[in-house]
Structure 1
Amino acid sequence: MKVLKFGGTSVAHSQNIMLVENIIKKESQNNRIIVVVSALQGVTDQLIKAAEAASHNNENYLQILKNLEEKHLDLVKDLIPFSEQSSWLSFVKKHFNDIEDICNSIFILKEFTDRIKDKITSYGEFLSSNIITARLKSNGSDAFWMDSHIVTDSNFTNAKVNFEATEDNLSQFLNENKNQIIITPGFIAKDAKENATTLGRGGSDYTASIIASVIHADELEIWTDVSGMMTSDPRLVSNAKPIVEISYSEAMELSHFGAKVLYPPTIQPVMVKNINLRIKNTFDPEAQGTLISHHVKKSHFENEQIAVGVSNMSHVALLTVEGSGMIGIPGVSAKLFQCLSQEKINVILITQSSSEHSITIAISEKDVFNAKSAIDSAFEDDLKLKRIDPVKIETDLAIVALVGENMKSRSGVSAKMFGCLGNNGINIRAIAQGSSEKNISIVISEKDITKAVNVLHEEFFESEIKQVHLYICGTGNVGMKLIQQIYSQNEYLKEHLSVNLRIAGLSNSRKMIFSEKGISENEFTSFDQNGQEASAEKFAQEIISRNLRNSVFVDVTASSEVPNIYEQLLKRSVNIVACNKIAASSDFEKYKNLKNTARNHSCQFLFETNVGAGLPIIGTINDLIRSGDKITSIQAVLSGTLNFVFNNYDGSRTFSEIVAQAQNEGYTEPDPRLDLAGIDVARKIIILAREAGYPIEFTSVENESFLPEECMKGSVNDFYDALSKYEDHFRNLLEEAKSKGKILKYVAEFKEGKAKVGLKHIAPESDLFHLYGKDNIVIFKTLRYYEQPLVVKGAGAGAEVTASGVFADILRSV
């Protein structure tokens, strides 16, 4: 014999009930079945709302009842043949008259007790189950309606079941009635005096489980609107997967912490009798669903899956009782939990310090006021004598639980869990893990719940693909190339590196757009017209408020404003990849603070492209230092722009024309003076010296400028006019070098703690001589590389290679 239960969404309206009818008919072909049904969706809440309105002398209760009556009358008209409708329409009207009489009494007496609440709410299931029975019988099914035979105590709204009396009742009924299909209301029961009682939250599921238990059913099926239990809440995690099989204890843990498809009390009765429980989808009856049983097949743990699911619970508060007067005093915990029990306050989670100095409990936020009052009263003397401190309350919290029997005795599970949360800036307020090791529960901020659940789900259930959210600031030459590279390379990254890069935000100096699902190429090309007004601060606040996992902020601007948001992003564990040199070459204390902030918040601050575009220069320095070497000097040509200019300036064209060519080909900053005045090179040598471990300031760099002072005044157009005016000056520099058999290179040097940049005459025997096009070169002398220096050489400018260097940093950051 099977027991089937259909929830409120399954019987929401006539179309859904017809689906239920088909399932019942199919299941009853080979089995005698008992079908437990809920009230129509929303009816129970509306009945309570009507009664509460009546208790406050609000006549709106009459309209609420009228709407409910119409809903049930329409259901009869849709489901029952016309020839049989009259009696059932009268049936509905009669019972709504009874409901109205009860509400009228509440209105007059202004009293709405738990006993009356149970009486009123019992009508929802009573009406739905009778109408569904009538529908089945009208179509020739051997169906019979059974009133609730569950016996309880008189604890109204949350009654305790008398299993022995219930079993006697049901056994007698089933012996006397041999119908193939028995329909019965869920949620409602009766006490010894025949008063209506209810079984509390999830009562219809519990009804079905009680019946399955006492009749020793072959299986209990819970039919709902999802295809079984999921590895996480699909409303929060788009990649949540169905769980094919799960143990009773795992299901109990998941349901306790918010898996709404099943309520914890449902499992206990069938678990005791070792009856299989299956979760099925009314709207996809062919879907496999989830089987809950004592014995889970080994295939459930294929690939050594550690956990079965991630569950969550919102609207949680933490209460902490602490004080020196608690240490070594027996009975403190008992006193605490007793006073909460008397107020019917459920404790969700408990954690206690080993010193016994404090006890922290998690409860529902709605119970905070009553809990504090109860604790203050119970510990009144201790509070007065300062043996304990006033109760500390924290709200706006949530619980996230990682569940799985296979976690037992597996080392590293907690480290993996806390590591991925920490790397995403999720602060854990409290932790609880039972000795059974089936559940690790954490308390976090409510605002972090979506991020935390996704991080854990990705870490334990989606290890094949890591979702990375990129926020790109800057759509100039480098930014455009970077975005194109991301779009073209993403499929390769998914296949070979198990990384999916999603551009979640994009900004330039005018507009910005966001999309959690990723900005498509079409959206990218039109965002300047459709985006919202942008600023660096607004962009940062959007990133923080969206709070997405594995977030990376990418700065491909030359803006002095954008680096101001780095620190607040790093403090939220957002990785930063910067092509912009300003942050790393600003005041040394600011640079050091950013590096420390990144380290303290378990995130990355990467800026390889600050020097040498895509060349591995900073990475090389880091490797040398980490391996114990020390850099003693650096000599370098660090400006692809200046190298391009002096490699191409041979007197056949003007100096101004060569600079314009460099700008047109994307080798210069938007304002070429940053390159030609040596400011950009000075920033680069500062960055290299700092990464080598020297606390050097930008103002200490000796800059031997070759530009006449007039070139530095006015606009970019004025700059080009001045270059043309001083062509003889530039030609003299060139001829002087030629006369000595040398060439011009703009060189950066660092030695003995001092840095300088300037135009040099380079002889043919120098490593700097044979440097062509826009190439850069860096020559390191170290304790290990003293006689034969370490040389890094290659293309040091250009949007394509710079973008590829930024791309590489993005991949390093995740």
Structure 2
Amino acid sequence: MTQDNQRPSWVVLKFGGSSVSSLDDWNNIVQIVSDNLQQGFRVAVVHSAFKNVTNRLEQLAQLAAKSEHQELLAELKDYHQTMASQLQLESSLLTPWLDSLETSAKKVAEHGVLTSKLRAELVAYGELLSSTLGAAFLEQQLSSDKKTQWLDARKLFVSEVEVNSNVNDQYLNAVCHPRPDHELSQQWADSYDVVLTQGFIASNEAGETVLLGREGSDTSASYVAALLEAKKLEIWTDVAGMFTTDPNKLSEAKKLEQISYAQAFEMAEAGAKVLHPRCLSTVMPYHIPVEIKNTHQPLEAGTLINGDEKDSRWVKSIAVKQKIPVMTLLLGRRGQQPETLQKVFTVFNELELGCELLASTKESLVMAVETSNSIHGEDILNELSVKLAEMCRSVLLSHSAIITLVGCQSSQALWHLLQIDAELPDQWLLLSHTSSDQHLSFLVSDDDALDILKLLHGHLIQ
């Protein structure tokens, strides 16, 4: 094995959909890549689908199951060909992928039912199309002595079946476990200056396309960083870092200059959409720092995430997840008997839905339902309620919000809450904290969530 100082120095740059969807974006990307090359790095670029394309492909998949997809398919083809024209690239570069996309849509139409496998295959074309243009543009714009190589992420990362995972998760929320490959890192460095691959997609052991879950491009970037044992991972997006809360929901939000892996993980788990939690759990063992920056303002300082963690007595950030389907199961006198719990979780598994146990008593369970990676529509919640009612005395469905305080011990956060000299909502539906004691969460009415967020941010963030 080569020594650390003899290994090639890689930086991994992930660009989200809002960062790759115009000529101006790509001129910024060329400059960012060039700056890193000038600093002596080899550069690995992880590329998302163009903005909103993944959502449109999800819609295409649903329409194809009803053989009503032709109009949207034509729009998607036209959109990508227009992007090629904006980047002054030959649209023929896209022809193989567009033909294959049409074949996949036809396959869904012939099948008549949208399965997890077919959905993954079809939705993956967003990244394959955009990254093909991205690699060609970099090759065209970088100096002639710099070699750019497009790589298929499905050849790089093979998913592993998690214990008790359902078919839906295996195709739409897949998990890989990459390890540093110093031989591959050296091989690439000897042949290329820049490699470009896709976010969000991988393959399974059968060679079928799988997806890494919504917002999975962050996860892909961390996989590449781990594979290359990169010097740093930069997440380029449309905001310059992580904030004390979502700046789109509260204008008073303040940017965080530095946070620890653990704090960033808690924020991501609690709903901070800038970063996917799996991204951090992958790079943390290899001490790879992560920086979040704004593609549209590349000179602005971002947020650095690393292993530096300082004890704090104050709340550092407040995250909010809204419109969460929450099931309250009243189990009756038999309560949480093993056979009852087994039946409950079997129902979730049969419907290919995820769930998170938020709270429990002797005779009740409060569970959040995860539908973002499901192939089903909202009507699946009604079916879930009906099936659960067969084994429970009562099932109550509501749409709630979870507000999470991150940055200090939960007991300290609770003390700060008690000092607030203002009228808080009468009904806090849930109070919980994790074993790490690094966050405190409340389940509240979705209608009250933003008012509570503003109140707490004003009193708790220093």
Report the TM-score when normalising by structure 1.
0.50
Is the Cα–Cα contact under 8 Å of residues 421 and 455 in structure 1 kept in the other structure?
no
Q: 1:345 to 1:95 in 2, by over 3 A?
A: closer
Is the Cα–Cα contact under 8 Å of residues 69 and 93 in structure 1 kept in the other structure?
no
Q: 1:371 to 1:192 in 2, by over 3 A?
A: same
Specify which of 24, 44, 48 is matched with residue 38 of structure 1. 48
Query: Unaligned 5+ residue runs, structure 1?
Result: 384-388, 463-814
* CA displacement 1:529-575 (0-9 Å, x = unmatched): xxxxxxxxxxxxxxxxxxxxxxxxxxxxxxxxxxxxxxxxxxxxxxx
The aligned amino acid for 1:416 is H
* CA displacement 1:555-614 (0-9 Å, x = unmatched): xxxxxxxxxxxxxxxxxxxxxxxxxxxxxxxxxxxxxxxxxxxxxxxxxxxxxxxxxxxx
**2:280 aligned with 1:280:** no
Structure 2 match to 1:431: 431
Alpha-carbon shift at residue 326 of structure 1 (Å): 4.2
Structure 2 match to 1:449: 449
The aligned amino acid for 2:225 is A
The aligned amino acid for 2:55 is D
Q: 1:32 to 1:109 in 2, by over 3 A?
A: same
* CA displacement 1:319-363 (0-9 Å, x = unmatched): 33345624685675566445535544333452234xx24332233
Specify which of 38, 48, 56 is matched with residue 66 of structure 2. 56
Looking at structure 2, the residues matched to 271 and 284 of structure 1 have their Cα atoms a distance apart, in angstroms, of: 27
**2:403 aligned with 1:403:** no
SS at match of 2:176: coil
Q: 1:130 to 1:409 in 2, by over 3 A?
A: same
SS at match of 1:325: coil
Is the Cα–Cα contact under 8 Å of residues 121 and 209 in structure 2 kept in the other structure?
yes
Is the Cα–Cα contact under 8 Å of residues 349 and 362 in structure 1 kept in the other structure?
yes
Structure 2 match to 1:186: 199
SS at match of 2:114: coil
Alpha-carbon shift at residue 261 of structure 1 (Å): 0.5
**2:97 aligned with 1:95:** yes
Alpha-carbon shift at residue 370 of structure 1 (Å): 4.6
Structure 1 match to 2:172: 157
Specify which of 385, 390, 400 is matched with residue 394 of structure 2. 390
Alpha-carbon shift at residue 415 of structure 1 (Å): 4.2
The aligned amino acid for 2:432 is A
Structure 2 match to 1:113: 115
Q: 1:318 to 1:123 in 2, by over 3 A?
A: closer
Q: 1:151 to 1:417 in 2, by over 3 A?
A: same
Is the Cα–Cα contact under 8 Å of residues 326 and 399 in structure 2 kept in the other structure?
no
The root-mean-square deviation of aligned C-alpha atoms, in Å, is 2.6
**2:32 aligned with 1:23:** yes
* CA displacement 1:439-491 (0-9 Å, x = unmatched): 111111111111011111001115xxxxxxxxxxxxxxxxxxxxxxxxxxxxx
Looking at structure 1, the residues matched to 317 and 349 of structure 2 have their Cα atoms a distance apart, in angstroms, of: 30
**2:364 aligned with 1:358:** yes
* CA displacement 1:229-255 (0-9 Å, x = unmatched): 110111221110001111222111211
Q: 1:374 to 1:247 in 2, by over 3 A?
A: farther
* CA displacement 1:599-633 (0-9 Å, x = unmatched): xxxxxxxxxxxxxxxxxxxxxxxxxxxxxxxxxxx
1:526-545 alignment runs, 5 A limit:
none
Is the Cα–Cα contact under 8 Å of residues 28 and 298 in structure 2 kept in the other structure?
no
Structure 1 match to 2:303: 290
Looking at structure 1, the residues matched to 419 and 327 of structure 2 have their Cα atoms a distance apart, in angstroms, of: 26
Looking at structure 2, the residues matched to 443 and 421 of structure 1 have their Cα atoms a distance apart, in angstroms, of: 21
1:218-297 alignment runs, 5 A limit:
218-296=231-309
The aligned amino acid for 2:447 is K
Looking at structure 2, the residues matched to 174 and 28 of structure 1 have their Cα atoms a distance apart, in angstroms, of: 16
Looking at structure 1, the residues matched to 425 and 42 of structure 2 have their Cα atoms a distance apart, in angstroms, of: 55
The aligned amino acid for 1:18 is N
Alpha-carbon shift at residue 223 of structure 1 (Å): 0.6
Alpha-carbon shift at residue 309 of structure 1 (Å): 0.5
Alpha-carbon shift at residue 162 of structure 1 (Å): 4.8
The aligned amino acid for 2:151 is M
Looking at structure 2, the residues matched to 181 and 421 of structure 1 have their Cα atoms a distance apart, in angstroms, of: 55
Is the Cα–Cα contact under 8 Å of residues 246 and 292 in structure 1 kept in the other structure?
yes
SS at match of 1:151: coil
Of residues 252-261 and 423-432 in structure 1, the stretch that sits farther from structure 2 once superposed is 423-432
SS at match of 2:98: helix
Alpha-carbon shift at residue 89 of structure 1 (Å): 1.8
Report the TM-score when normalising by structure 2.
0.85
**2:147 aligned with 1:142:** yes
Alpha-carbon shift at residue 133 of structure 1 (Å): 1.3
Looking at structure 2, the residues matched to 359 and 419 of structure 1 have their Cα atoms a distance apart, in angstroms, of: 31
Structure 2 match to 1:716: none
Is the Cα–Cα contact under 8 Å of residues 92 and 127 in structure 1 kept in the other structure?
yes
Structure 2 match to 1:657: none
Looking at structure 2, the residues matched to 329 and 103 of structure 1 have their Cα atoms a distance apart, in angstroms, of: 46
The aligned amino acid for 1:306 is W
Structure 1 match to 2:211: 198
Structure 2 match to 1:764: none
SS at match of 1:428: coil
* CA displacement 1:711-739 (0-9 Å, x = unmatched): xxxxxxxxxxxxxxxxxxxxxxxxxxxxx
Q: 1:305 to 1:216 in 2, by over 3 A?
A: same
**2:13 aligned with 1:10:** no
* CA displacement 1:209-237 (0-9 Å, x = unmatched): 11111221111111100010110111221
Looking at structure 1, the residues matched to 46 and 257 of structure 2 have their Cα atoms a distance apart, in angstroms, of: 24
**2:331 aligned with 1:319:** no
* CA displacement 1:116-162 (0-9 Å, x = unmatched): 22222222111211211111111224311112111124822222325
SS at match of 1:131: helix
Q: 1:460 to 1:18 in 2, by over 3 A?
A: same
Q: 1:192 to 1:285 in 2, by over 3 A?
A: same
**2:107 aligned with 1:77:** no
Q: 1:183 to 1:425 in 2, by over 3 A?
A: same
SS at match of 1:202: coil
SS at match of 1:9: helix
Looking at structure 2, the residues matched to 425 and 172 of structure 1 have their Cα atoms a distance apart, in angstroms, of: 56
The aligned amino acid for 1:453 is L
- Higher relative contact order (CA closer than 8 Å, sequence separation 6+): 2
Looking at structure 2, the residues matched to 306 and 72 of structure 1 have their Cα atoms a distance apart, in angstroms, of: 48
Alpha-carbon shift at residue 111 of structure 1 (Å): 3.4
Alpha-carbon shift at residue 364 of structure 1 (Å): 4.6
Looking at structure 1, the residues matched to 397 and 211 of structure 2 have their Cα atoms a distance apart, in angstroms, of: 33
The aligned amino acid for 1:152 is S
Is the Cα–Cα contact under 8 Å of residues 400 and 446 in structure 2 kept in the other structure?
yes
The aligned amino acid for 1:208 is A
Percent sequence identity is 27
The aligned amino acid for 2:217 is S
Q: 1:320 to 1:73 in 2, by over 3 A?
A: closer
The aligned amino acid for 1:25 is S
* CA displacement 1:363-388 (0-9 Å, x = unmatched): 358564354345345xx3xx5xxxxx
Alpha-carbon shift at residue 106 of structure 1 (Å): 2.8
Q: 1:460 to 1:79 in 2, by over 3 A?
A: same
